[in-house]
Amino acid sequence: MAGTAVLGRLTWQVGRVVNSMVETPRVKSLTLELPAWGGHRAGQHVDLRLTAEDGYQAVRSYSIASPPEVGSVVVTVERLDDGEVSPYLVDELRVDDQIEVRGPIGGYFVWEISQGGPLFLVSGGSGIVPLMAMIRHRLAGGSEVPIMLLYSSRSHDDVIYGTELEALAAMEGIRVVQTYTRVQPPGWEGYSRRIDESLLGDVAPPPGERPLIYICGPTALVEGVASSMVALGHEPTRIKTERFGPTGR
Amino acid sequence: MCARIFSRGFHGRRQEPEDASRLPPGQYLVRDFPVLSAGPTPRTPLERWDFSLSGEVGQPRRWTWDEFRALPSEFVTRDIHCVTRWSKLDTLWEGVSVDTLLDGVEYDAEYVVAFCDGGYTTNLPLEDVTGGKAWVAFSYNGEPLEAAHGGPARLLVPHLYFWKSAKWVRGLTLSGHDEPGFWESAGYHNRGDPWQEQRYWGD
């Protein structure tokens, strides 16, 4: 079972936005400088709290995109049009603004270099965020654990961390496979369908390699991929899942 | 503690007053039914399913699916609250009360651990699952409980955060001491009362 992630009480602290980066038309990465960050593990998340002038507050959780090796915390946020908090974070929040933060939270969907590999990471949409923290951790920590990332996006324009993924794909020990489910770029010869069992059969490390499997994305993707991986012969106990449902994050 | 800061230009979305009184602090309403779990959905055939009571009990008990379904069941309508901040009002379940399962069982215990297919566990004080507060539910909204939502049967403890309502439950272990379960060992509160906002350790 997972180790202990959070020691003692989690308290709110005031962070400052020190960088804001557009990832896609709907997604931004925000770098937060925190006065008392005790560190985190790749895959964990933070709670962000907004306060209106009349004292009304709203809190949502966001995955941390940055690896434990850097001192600041980067969250990558997708704007959900019917959301209460994400449109503010993506459209309104600016560099030098303050925001309340507590964390890190979650001690199960995490990966540390000491856990070894190989890693098979599967994501859809903004589900890539905690998985990117794992990849960045592997690089920043000097690990050589083989990583296979399978990433499903609606179109090329919806790909988060696109430039970084291109660079990763050229690195030793890291493979990146993408599928575009709705619109494909001209001349695209890769996958152009939702992730299914036959696609996983082509791409996933064989069960004999006993990969550690992390799946993050919308419920339908996570349910489907996790079931398929079990059907392909992978041990259920090596499969960890996390979901981003359309629940107003 | 930090001084109160305001989020320039943030107005938020207030709940309707009649809903707001039913929402614990920090929760928002959903109309759908989000699915959250830590691993693959287990699929145990009903002919291999059973439910057991073990641990500090005079005589361990075990029910097959047919025996379990022959027990008296109840319909309950309750609001449910997930630690990830969504709440859903007036959810309709059918299940066997934990009181019914414990009826006639001698035990010397103050705590239970619910154990499940897939290895999930969650711990509860016995008094949180007795006295008409908890059920082993096999139906949602008049339909058999879907596997993704914990079917064939899940624990239903609606007065606590919903991770306590363990999916794919297969039994209860009664014990004299409290043993943290899956999320309770991974940073989440040991009891999880949404009205006291007991989300994480130390809350």
- Is residue A3 scored above 80 in pLDDT? no
Distance between CA atoms of residues A240 and B4, nearest Å: 37
pLDDT band at B157 (very low <50, low <70, confident <90, very high): very high
Contacting residues for A134 by C-beta, under 8 A, at least 6 apart = A42, A43, A111, A119, A121, A147, A214
CA B27 to chain A, closest CA, distance in angstroms equals: 9
Which residues of B make CB contacts under 8 Å with A? 1-14, 26, 28, 30, 32, 34-42, 84-86, 118-119, 148, 182-183, 185-187, 200-203
Distance between CA atoms of residues B53 and B173, nearest Å: 6
Question: Does residue A23 fall inside a structural domain?
Answer: yes
Q: Report the half-sphere exposure of B178 (CA within 13 A, side-chain side).
A: 11
Question: Does residue B13 fall inside a structural domain?
Answer: no
Residues of B in contact with A241 (CB under 8 A): 37-40
Question: Does residue B48 fall inside a structural domain?
Answer: yes
Q: What is the pLDDT of residues A175-186, one digit of tens each?
A: 999 999 999 999
CATH number for the domain including B60? 3.90.420.10
pLDDT band at A8 (very low <50, low <70, confident <90, very high): low
Distance between CA atoms of residues B184 and B179, nearest Å: 9
Token readout for B26 is 């920090």
CATH number for the domain including A22? 2.40.30.10
* Segments forming the whole domain that contains residue B156: 27-32+44-196
- Is residue B97 scored above 60 in pLDDT? yes
pLDDT score of A241: 96
Q: Say which range, A64-73, A119-128, B5-14, B162-171, has the weakest mean pLDDT.
A: B5-14
- Is residue A4 scored above 50 in pLDDT? no
CA A240 to chain B, closest CA, distance in angstroms equals: 5
pLDDT score of B102: 98
Residues A239, A141 share a domain:
yes
CATH number for the domain including A137? 3.40.50.80
Q: What is the pLDDT of residues B112-149, one digit of tens each?
A: 999 999 999 999 999 999 999 999 999 999 999 999 99
Residues A174, A158 share a domain:
yes
Concatenated DSSP letters of B56-74: SBSS-EEEEHHHHHTS--E
Q: What is the pLDDT of residues B165-182, one digit of tens each?
A: 999 999 999 999 999 999
Question: Cβ of B12 and A56 within 8 Å?
Answer: yes
Question: Does residue A184 fall inside a structural domain?
Answer: yes
Concatenated DSSP letters of A126-172: GGHHHHHHHHHHHHHTT----EEEEEEESSGGG-TTHHHHHHHHTST
Q: Report the half-sphere exposure of B78 (CA within 13 A, side-chain side).
A: 22
The answer to whether the Cα torsion of A234, A242, A102, B187 is positive or negative is negative
Final residue in a domain of this structure, among A78, A105, A132: A105
pLDDT score of A7: 52
pLDDT score of B2: 47
Question: Does residue B178 fall inside a structural domain?
Answer: yes
- Is residue B61 scored above 90 in pLDDT? yes
Residue A186's SS3 state is coil
Final residue in a domain of this structure, among A77, A105, A133: A105
Question: Does residue A4 fall inside a structural domain?
Answer: no
**CA nearest to A228 within chain B:** B40
Question: Cβ of B7 and A52 within 8 Å?
Answer: yes
Token readout for A211 is 């990969």
Q: What is the pLDDT of residues A187-226, one digit of tens each?
A: 999 999 999 999 999 999 999 999 999 999 999 999 999 9
Q: What is the mean pLDDT of chain B?
A: 94
Q: What is the pLDDT of residues A201-211, one digit of tens each?
A: 999 999 999 99
Domain count, chain B: 1
